Structure 1
Amino acid sequence: MKNFCLIVTDSGPLITLAVADALDVLLAPKLPVIVPDMVRFEVIRDLSKPGAQDVADWIRENEGPALRVASTEVFEEYQLLVGLRPTTKTGNRAEQSAAEVLSQQLRGRDHGAVLLFEDSDVRKQNFLIRLPDEVIVTSTSEFLFGLESERLIPSASEILARAVSIRGNGVLERHRGGTVSKRPESWPSRLRPPA
């Protein structure tokens, strides 16, 4: 049985869950949660934006064995570039930092990862095709519906509905993506050992 962790690959899932007042659902599967430092930066660099202060507070309150912010070379490089040219954009550095964290996690043969993408982004990620079997890709909505199927939360739809006023109606669409679509079972069932 592999030791899985949950890697938040971009700011979208954190913001969606924050505006829905549901960040704690990330801890529900009892997997170590890893937020790359670049992802955290993208969320909290402007604390006046919806959900940003909630995410900052949630990370501070929960950081420890269940949740950690992973340091990455991608973020270090970005900080150096901003020092030289303050107008440097973040670009796709959040995803690059998540890929760096994933690589670190997979170095141990008995490790796997669940990659959490925002629903609108899960279809755009070209690198997902090359992911090994021990990596599960899920969108925010599929993550929530997986928790519901395991009876870890009462209703995924209710959480998503609470995010609509800030995130738009698109959060109500259920997206499957990446390696999940190759196998019809939900992401939680892929964490269980074969019968």
Structure 2
Amino acid sequence: MVLAESLDVLLRPRLAVRIPDAVYFEATRVHGAPGAEQIVEWINLHLDRVQIVPTDVGIDQQRRLEEGRSIRGLGEGAAIEVLERFVRSSSDAKALLLFEDSDIERRRAIVDQRVGLISTGDFLRELETARMIQSADYILDQAAARGRNVERQRRSGNEAATRERLRPQLEEP
């Protein structure tokens, strides 16, 4: 959503936004990379609703970088760590994981059932249905115009239960 200049869309459902440290680092570590500065600025503008969550995976990520080793896939691992910690905190805790990479869908079995997985495209379509944004396609078109491959996001995913769970959050005043 950063390439579409639409990060504020993440705040529309009035849910807390938690970003694992390794995900944040992957998105912002290369100064001048598309969207990196915008992400930092956006988080700083919304510290009341957006938090970077430290993880053991993030610590490992730093160590790997210092040693010159690959950090591929560590953002996903950090997201799973944050989710596991969150659902252990309360028996009625529920979370939503917004993803772009289909790899996380294949790991569904290791994510607690109280965690809904939703693609960026499905998230945008739910916001459009709830009239919180004008057009999911417009946002995807903007990202595509700036070089992002959004074809997978244009297709509806299989997580109907997650979309159903999100809808009440979109209806609250």
TM range (shorter): 0.7 to 0.9
Deviation at 1:48, TM superposition (A): 1.5
**Paired-residue identity, %:** 31
The 1:172/1:191 distance shift into structure 2, 3 A limit, reads closer
Correspondence for 1:151 among 126, 131, 135: 131
Correspondence for 1:73 among 50, 53, 56: 56
Deviation at 1:127, TM superposition (A): 1.7
Distance across 2 between alignment mates of 1:184 and 1:57: 30
Could you state the TM-score of these two structures normalised by the residue count of structure 2?
A: 0.87
List per-residue Cα deviations over 1:25-70 (Å, max 9, x = no partner): 0010011000000000001111212111111111121122x11000
Could you state the TM-score of these two structures normalised by the residue count of structure 1?
A: 0.78
Q: Does 1:30 align with 2:14?
A: yes
Structure 1 gaps, min length 5 = 1-16
List per-residue Cα deviations over 1:94-127 (Å, max 9, x = no partner): 0000000001110111211111110xx2366322
The 1:161/1:187 distance shift into structure 2, 3 A limit, reads farther
The 1:123/1:61 distance shift into structure 2, 3 A limit, reads same
Distance across 1 between alignment mates of 2:137 and 2:96: 21
Partner amino acid for 1:47? H
Instruction: State the 4+ residue runs in structure 1 displaced beyond 6 angstroms.
Output: none
Correspondence for 1:137 among 117, 123, 127: 117
Partner amino acid for 1:104? R
Q: Does 1:167 align with 2:145?
A: no
Partner amino acid for 1:112? K
Q: Does 1:106 align with 2:87?
A: yes
Correspondence for 2:98 among 111, 116, 136: 116
Question: How many residues are aligned here?
Answer: 168
Partner amino acid for 2:99? F
Distance across 2 between alignment mates of 1:163 and 1:171: 13
